[in-house]
């Protein structure tokens, strides 16, 4: 199974006060670097970071072991970022794409491992999503067989949740690992 991680870091971060792709933790480590490390440690063979707003500045923070995917239509919302990242993962012949947004800097690698573990004998046809005390969250594993249909189903600033729900996504409880909360405001 070839697994490609995808960090969604293209948004303008309006509620946050600027692109979250530029955010750093209290020690100065970029969130994009944390996300790349988490995906690699969780089992991703390679990692893509989708950038849009402040694209050059965000790309400069991406660690060398990851690749940058430019999202020219980033203003259209998360749907454009998902489509661009999924297309790039498909070009790399990924069987599964594991998606995480950049604004979950505390997400543990164990969540990725759990989500991948439930995909079964045909991971390219699978869909799995971490949930936190029953509430949907990230990471999300999307099998190659779903990438084109998912790209066609998403629009605007709505993510994959409606598609996942209508395609019997496997929910994987990860509430014992962390809260599952994304960060929408600066500390």
- The packing angle between helices 144-153 and 78-91, to 10°, is 150
Asked if residues 49 and 85 have their Cβ atoms less than 8 Å apart, the reply is no
Asked if residues 126 and 96 have their Cβ atoms less than 8 Å apart, the reply is yes
Q: Which residues are CB-contacts of 176 (< 8 A; sequence separation ≥ 6)?
A: none
Residue 1 is encoded by which pair of tokens? 């199974």
Q: Work out the burial of residue 187: count CB atoms within 10 Å of its CB; fewer than 13 is exposed, 13-18 middle, 19 or more buried.
A: exposed
Note the pLDDT of residue 164.
96
Which H or E run contains 173?
A: strand 170-173
Note the pLDDT of residue 158.
85
Residue 49 is encoded by which pair of tokens? 């970071």
CA gap 79, 98 in Å, rounded: 16
List the beta bridge partners of residue 51: 9, 70
Note the pLDDT of residue 187.
65
CA gap 152, 174 in Å, rounded: 29
Asked if residues 178 and 131 have their Cβ atoms less than 8 Å apart, the reply is no
pLDDT tens for the 187 residues of the chain, in order: 999 999 999 999 988 999 999 999 999 999 999 999 999 999 999 999 999 999 999 999 999 999 999 999 999 999 999 999 999 999 999 999 999 999 999 999 999 999 999 999 999 999 999 999 999 999 999 999 999 999 999 988 888 999 999 999 999 999 999 999 998 877 6
pTM here is 0.97
Q: Which residues of 123-133 are buried (b: 16+ CB within 10 A; e: fewer)?
A: bbebbbbbbbe
Neighbours of 107 (CB within 10 A): 27
Cis preceding linkage at 139, omega within 30: yes
- Tell me which residue of 113, 98, 110, 89 sits closest to 160, measured CA to CA: 98
Residue 51 is encoded by which pair of tokens? 């950038």
């Amino acid at each position: 199974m070839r697994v490609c991680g995808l960090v969604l870091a293209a948004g303008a971060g309006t509620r946050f006060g600027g692109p979250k792709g530029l955010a750093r933790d209290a020690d100065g480590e970029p969130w994009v670097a944390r996300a790349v490390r988490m995906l690699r440690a969780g089992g991703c063979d390679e990692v893509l970071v989708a950038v849009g707003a402040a694209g050059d500045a965000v790309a400069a923070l991406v660690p060398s072991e990851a690749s940058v995917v430019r999202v020219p239509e980033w203003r259209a919302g998360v749907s454009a970022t998902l489509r661009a990242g999924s297309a790039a993962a498909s070009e790399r012949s990924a069987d599964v794409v594991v998606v995480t947004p950049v604004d979950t800097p505390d997400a543990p690698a164990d969540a990725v491992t759990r989500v991948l573990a439930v995909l079964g004998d045909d991971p390219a046809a699978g869909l799995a999503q971490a949930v936190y005390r029953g509430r949907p969250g990230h990471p999300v594993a999307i099998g190659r067989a779903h990438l084109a249909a998912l790209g066609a189903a998403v629009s605007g600033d709505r993510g994959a949740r409606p598609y996942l729900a209508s395609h019997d996504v496997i929910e994987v409880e990860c509430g014992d690992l962390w809260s599952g909360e994304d960060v929408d405001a600066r500390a």
